[in-house]
Amino acid sequence: MTESIRIYWMTDLHLKDSVTGQPEAEDAIRRERHYYAAKDKLWQAVEMINRDKPDCVVCTGDMNDSVQSFATFAEAWERVPGQKAITLGNHDLNNDYSTIVDELGYGDRPVISGSHFNRSFALRNGEVQARVIVLDTNIGPDGQHRSNVEGTIQEDAFRWLEEEMLGCAEKTILVFTHNGLGGPAKFFDQQHVERFMKLADRVSTEKPGTHIYNMAGHHHVHPTAVVKEIAPHFTFVNGVAMIAEAVSYINIVSVRADGGIDLDYSEVRYNGAG
Ligand SMILES: [Fe+2]
């Protein structure tokens, strides 16, 4: 088999404990969001990950739909083996940031550019290499976390991104965020998008052959991801939202030996369990 790096990526789970396993309950469904099925799908994803053993697992936020404990998510997330990373979404931040950090057990983790969730690490499988950057886009100009439908990247986060993207050895850079840099304009501060695009230009000029991908959720797409090639060196991927419908998908990202990526999906389905 040709070598590749496999990343299992879930986004927009929207757990809602009050209606878990109760499709008939009031508020069990709102538009595409099948809340009653969310926990079932999460645990299927965890089982699948334990069986398939991907190189890395990323969750890009909106684990919770509104104000509730993160215990339901944390219990499942703890069962995910190996290299893994999460970032928060605007819905998560209806809860207090420091409470979320405590409930997820992230209190002892280093804070990078104002977030316990910002992370940068290399993945390698034989000759295939990729850089994973997980970026928190929920921080306001005052440095505080907030629930905002518009994603932001503050000054110190831009400095960190620049260091990581210019400094890393890998030519395939996957930047995972909740809000998408190439999605609907209302979902990201467009001045920040412009600045990110300039940074991406600089990275590809200084390190020829580099390709940057932004892998995001927030805007719920289903049943397949939306892929936009925005520049020769920059591609935007809006992943499938796991909350969508009774049957949804975990996104599977494979980084090929030539540095490109392939997208695939593995089904998660409501089985009627709580
Ligand atoms: Fe969401």
Q: Residue 271's pLDDT band (boundaries 50, 70, 90)? A: confident
Q: For the segment 99-132, what is each residue's pLDDT rounded down to a tens digit?
A: 999 999 999 999 999 999 999 999 999 999 999 9
| pLDDT, tens digit, 9 for 90 and up, residues 205-215 | 999 999 999 99
Output the pLDDT for position 272.
83
Residues 6+ apart with CB under 8 A from 59: 9, 10, 11, 13, 77, 84, 85, 86, 87
3 CA to middle of ligand 1, Å?
33
Q: What separation in Å is there between the alpha carbon of 60 and the centre of ligand 1? A: 9
Q: Ligand 1 center to residue 187 CA distance, Å? A: 11
Would the CA dihedral through 182, 185, 191, 194 be positive or negative? positive
Burial classification of residue 78, based on how many CB atoms lie within 10 Å of its CB (0-12 exposed, 13-18 middle, 19 or more buried) = exposed
Our measurement of the distance from residue 84's CA atom to the centroid of its chain's CA atoms, rounded to an integer in Å, reads 11
Ordered domains of the chain (ranges, CATH): 5-269 (3.60.21.10)
Q: How confident is the model at residue 273 (pLDDT cuts 50, 70, 90)?
A: low
pLDDT at residue 2 greater than cutoff 80: no
CA of 184 to the centre of ligand 1 (A): 14
The predicted model gives 30-38 an average pLDDT of: 96
159 vs 1, residue with greater confidence: 159
Please tell me the distance between residue 1's alpha carbon and the centre of ligand 1 in angstroms: 36
The whole-number pLDDT of residue 1 equals 59
206 CA distance to ligand 1 middle (Å): 35
- Cα of 189 vs centre of ligand 1, distance in Å, is 17
Quote the DSSP letter at residue 96.
Answer: -
Distance 124 CA to ligand 1 centre (A): 30
What is the distance in A from the centroid of ligand 1 to the CA of 21?
Answer: 20
